[in-house]
Amino acid sequence: MRALVLVLLVLGCGPGRDALLAATPGVPPVSGCTTGNYRCNAGVPEACSASGRWWPALPRDATGGQTRCPAGCAVNGDGVAYCAAADGGAR
């Protein structure tokens, strides 16, 4: 029981958590991005997490592939990435 508590404490701290994330399939690598920043990456809006990783802001599709914005990705004036409208935003 003590060993389990120790493992949980180690994994809860920064280095232990980072090691676990680095070994987990599908977790993006640390890029050193600034927390709260957004970008477009190959048609996918991404957000930078507190761990310095770019995470897709769109869910996976039914086959497990990354969903992409059909009309491309854009970044608004506030720096937030989003899927662009197919009609270019016309109303």
Domain range summary for the chain, segments of one domain joined by +: 1-27, 31-91
Q: Are 75 and 81 in contact (CB under 8 A)?
A: yes
Average pLDDT over residues 62-91: 88
Rg (CA), the chain: 17
- The model's pTM is 0.73
The reported pLDDT for the residue numbered 91 is 44
4-26 per-position pLDDT tens digit: 555 555 556 677 777 777 778 88
